[in-house]
Structure 1
Amino acid sequence: MANLTERIQLTREHRDLILKYGYVSGRLETSLRRWPKDQVIRRVGMTRVELQWLIGDLSHVCVKGKAGSDVEAVADLCDHLEYAQQTGDGDLDILW
């Protein structure tokens, strides 16, 4: 089994966007679909390759205009994932 070296905090909205526009399957898809309904934020583990592919999928959707009204949210998600990839910091910066 590949090492789940990337630990990314995601919101439920992020999860929905990934399932709608990302081409995820296998373990990652199962993890996202098993998200508890009462949990707003969750840390999801993935491999470096899964993270890179996910960023590529979501970026492609934005560039090709396939995200429709979700384009800004998908672009923000891409920024979060790219930052996590570059720095190793997958935490969300949320001010409560």
Structure 2
Amino acid sequence: MRAYGSYAFRAMNTEVRVPVGGSDDEVREAGVRVEAVFAAHEGCLSRFRPESPLLQLNRTGHLEHPPCILVEALERARRWQELLSPSFNPVVLPHLEQAG
């Protein structure tokens, strides 16, 4: 019978818990990999971190060499906007800033 465990960490101002089947070492290894994915996305897509490419893009309107994570996120947002327009609009920063 396979053991189960969970790995917890904080990301995006919330507690994240990853349920994983396996030994304690497997749980920890899988959790560390998931945490790294969250950290990479949060570092790139945060509108609160000064070094975030998303924040830089919002500030300047362009990036010379945008990271793949940002390009993929923007491409997905554009596809969803095309599919769900006008119900979905990824360009909400002014509204978010106004709301605080």
Query: TM (normalized to structure 2)?
Result: 0.30
Larger radius of gyration: 2
Larger relative CO (CA 8 A, sep 6+): 1 or 2?
A: 1
Query: TM (normalized to structure 1)?
Result: 0.31
